[in-house]
Structure 1
Amino acid sequence: MKLKYRLAYYLFGLLLGLFFVIKFLGAKAEAKGVEFCYLPNCRVLKELRSKPLDFSPETKSILTQDWISLEDIKATLKYGDVDFSKSNLPYNNGKIYIIEGKTTQNEEINITMINYPSKVVLEKIEKK
């Protein structure tokens, strides 16, 4: 058998095998709540979601307003984008992260969070 035919069979088998591995192992991981986060943005957001969330007095007053809710903050922590050029700065035994997201009314917001070893503090909420 010529090399090009062997290579074609090999690639076909490899793709078929990858399809089954992703299909079955991916479904198994989703059922157990496992999330595969290899990119920096995903890893930071996952770490921020995994810790207890506290609020600064400024953000407590902003959350009482009608234009933003706690659900918007949770959605931003799941689907937002971390601005790494302004983030990962040391601050009082923690690190500051600025996350860009959207509200349910499709308004763009920036939230500033401080990541401490045992908790996360929502420091500031701003409209863009």
Structure 2
Amino acid sequence: MKLKYRLVYYLFGLLLGLFFVIKFLGAKAEAKGVEFCYLPNCRVLKELRNKSLNFSPEAQATLEENWINLDDIRNTLKYGDVDFSKSNKPYKNGKIYLIEGKTTQNEEINITMINYTSKVILEKIEKK
């Protein structure tokens, strides 16, 4: 058998095997609630979501203005983008993170959070 036919058979089998592995193992991981976060943005957001969330007085006042709600904050912590040029810097015995996201009304927002070892404080919420 020629080399190009061997290569085609090999690649076809490899792709078929990868499809089945992703299909079955992916479904198994989803059923157990496992999330695979290997990229830095995903890892930071997952860490911030898993800790208890506290609010600073400034953030609490912004939430009471009713242009943003807690669901917008949760969605930003799930689907937002961490600005690493302004994040991961020491701040008040923790590290500060700036996360860019959107509200349910599709307004762009920036939230600033301080990550401590046992909790996360929502420092401020700003419109872009």
TM-score using structure 1 length: 0.98
Q: Which runs of 5+ in 2 are unaligned?
A: none
Residues 38-53 of structure 1: pairs in structure 2 closer than 5 A:
38-53=38-53
Q: Which runs of 5+ in 1 are unaligned?
A: none
Give the Cα–Cα distance (whole angstroms) in 1 for the partners of residues 97 and 109 of structure 2.
14
Instruction: Work out the number of aligned pairs and report it.
Output: 128
Letter in 1 for 2:88: N
CA shift digits 1:75-118 (9 cap, x unpaired): 00000000001000001221000000000111100000000000
Aligned to 2:100: 100
Residues 21-100 of structure 1: pairs in structure 2 closer than 5 A:
21-100=21-100
The share of aligned pairs that are identical, in percent, is 84
User: After TM superposition, where is structure 1 displaced by more than 2 Å over at least 4 residues in a row?
Assistant: none
